[in-house]
Amino acid sequence: MAETGASPLPPTPPAHSAVARAEHFVWLTARVLEQRRFAYHFLGGGADTVETALSAYRNEDDGYGHALEPDLRGPVSQPLHVGHALRVLDSIGRCGGQRVERVCRYLTSVSTQDGALPAIRPSQRGYPSAPFVPVVDDPPSELLATGPVVGLLHRNEVWHAWLFRATDFCWQAVESLEKTHPYEVEAAVAFLDSAPDRPRAEAAADRLGRLVREQRLAVLDPEHLDAFPVAPGYAPGEHHLPHDYAKTPASLARAWFTDEEMTRSLSFLRTQQREDGGWPIRWRQWAPGTALEARPMVTIEALRTLRAHGLPIT
């Protein structure tokens, strides 16, 4: 007999549902952190276990390392790892309190002279890292690293002195974008979706959306992928689709695309689930282990995107 007062188990997904197939893939291939995240998002698991798994990547300097972001190997803290950690905390409703206060102290300590974040600090030198994230001695501030972090902190109503100059940097970077590329656009959207000045964010997003369409940075017809260019330096076939920018219907990027374009994009995303239950990675693969670690992350985000847009996954 079950114990009195025991919490009921979540319903088991149908054996051939997208979630059930992905669950098998995750248990077979994923790190503990992604296993815990999958359980939290789709199997009724708790937030505490996710946070415990994430804590294994935290360093004494209050940053995160240890290949939390798989394309950066080694133990040292890096801003890109911190951005990843904040996304995990935000997704479980734990992006606040003393843990984030400590993260902000780390961000302050590694910021450039203009108060923003470089993507990779020189401490990465000597450890393996992807060839498309070069390590330099005096790295500049980048919207790619700063935008998502600032956006997540604003989204969770975190107020810290570090945010003032970093927010100013993001505004200047987003509003001066001319020639851009998909990952930079994603970072800009992550900032704009949570920036406190909503009228300014909406105006900036409207301008950015026009750039995306003018520069053909989104595949609007997935049946003709080859008709759309791949950004310089990206891997062959490393396209972005509307759902990559508008991960939820509430995103400012959703207004960039028609209902028909969004439907085609999400339908394409659904068809990308592989026979093993996971979704593929589209960026350049440079080491077998990094690709293996990244696919469960991509799988979790694909399911979350489909669910956010109201598509059935179970």
- pLDDT at position 2 is 39
- pLDDT at position 16 is 82
Per-residue pLDDT, averaged over 298-306, amounts to 98
- DSSP result, 263-303: HHHHHHHHHT--TTSPPPP-S----HHHHHHHHHHHHHHHH
| The two three-digit tokens of residue 37, written as one number | 């995240």
For residues 306 and 314, give the distance between their C-alpha atoms in angstroms, rounded to a whole number. Answer: 11
Give 73-103 pLDDT, tens digit per residue: 999 999 999 999 999 999 999 999 999 999 9
Assess whether pLDDT exceeds 90 at residue 165.
yes
Give 123-142 pLDDT, tens digit per residue: 999 999 999 888 999 999 99
Global pTM value:
0.93
Per-residue pLDDT, averaged over 231-259, amounts to 96
Per-residue pLDDT, averaged over 21-32, amounts to 98
| Residue 85 near residue 129 (C-beta atoms within 8 A) | no
Identity of the amino acid at 148? P
Burial of 265 (0-12, 13-18, 19+ CB in 10 A): buried
- CB burial of 208-243 (b: ≥16 within 10 Å; e: otherwise) equals bbebbeebebbbbebeeeeebebbeebeeeebbbbb
Assess whether pLDDT exceeds 60 at residue 156.
yes
Give 49-75 pLDDT, tens digit per residue: 999 999 999 999 999 999 999 999 999
For residues 25 and 221, give the distance between their C-alpha atoms in angstroms, rounded to a whole number. Answer: 29
For residues 314 and 302, give the distance between their C-alpha atoms in angstroms, rounded to a whole number. Answer: 13
For residues 62 and 291, give the distance between their C-alpha atoms in angstroms, rounded to a whole number. Answer: 27
Identity of the amino acid at 64? Y
